[in-house]
Amino acid sequence: MMKTRNKILIGVAIVGLIFVLRKPIERAVWDLISQQRINTLHPDIRERAKAFINKAEREGIKLRVTDATRTFDEQDALYAQGRTTPGDIVTDARAGFSYHNYGLAIDVVEMVNGQPIYNNPNWQRIGEIGESFGFSWGASFNDKPHFHMTFGNSIADLQRKLTNEMVQEGFVIV
C-alpha cells in the first residue's frame, strides 16, 4: 500500500515538474529598480519584459525600466504636465488611454556609468530586441523608449473590459 502511494506521489511530482518546466522562468534583471517596476506589470508580460531586459544586457546594453504600470491618477498628472502644470509635455494620453494603465507597457532607457542615455545610438537595436519578444515599439509614434503588448486589444477593448469588470488579480483579462 505504501509503495503504491509513494509511486503515485512521485508520478504527480514529475508531472508537476514537467508542467513548470514547460514555460521557462526568466531570471531577475540586473537592476533592482527595473525588477520592481516589472513586478507591477500585467502577469502575462512580466516574463517577456525580463527576457527583453536580460537579452539587451547580454548584448552589452543595460536597460532600466523607467516606467511600467501607471494608475489613472498618475496618467492624468502626466497628461497635465506641460499643459496645466509646469514641465514639458511627456504624453498625449489621458487616463485610460495608455497601455501603461493596463500594465501592458514599459518605457526603458540605456544606463551607462549610472547615467541614462536618451539620445542613444543603440535605439534601433533596442527596438529590435523588444520586438523579438512580441512588444510593439513606440518609435512609430515618436516614442522610442516605449514598448507595449496589446494581445489584440485596442484601448477601447481594454476600457470595455475594465467597465464590464473583466478583471483578474487587478488586471483586465487579455
Q: Are 29 and 41 in contact (CB under 8 A)?
A: no
Lookup result for grid cell 534601433: 124
| Eight-state DSSP code of residue 153 | -
- Fold type of domain 30-148: Muramoyl-pentapeptide Carboxypeptidase; domain 2 (3.30.1380)
Q: What is the pLDDT of residue 169?
A: 87
Q: Are 108 and 66 in contact (CB under 8 A)?
A: yes
Q: What is the pLDDT of residue 21?
A: 46
pLDDT along the chain (174 residues), means of 10: 57 46 69 96 97 97 97 97 95 96 98 95 97 96 95 97 92 94
Q: Among residues 171, 165, 170, which one has the least CA distance to residue 149?
A: 171
Q: What is the pLDDT of residue 107?
A: 98
Q: What is the pLDDT of residue 18?
A: 44
Distance from C-alpha of 65 to C-alpha of 87, rounded to nearest angstrom:
21
- What nine digits make up the cell of 19? 508542467
Buried b (16+ CB within 10 A) or exposed e, 41-60: bbeebbbbbbbbbbbbeeee
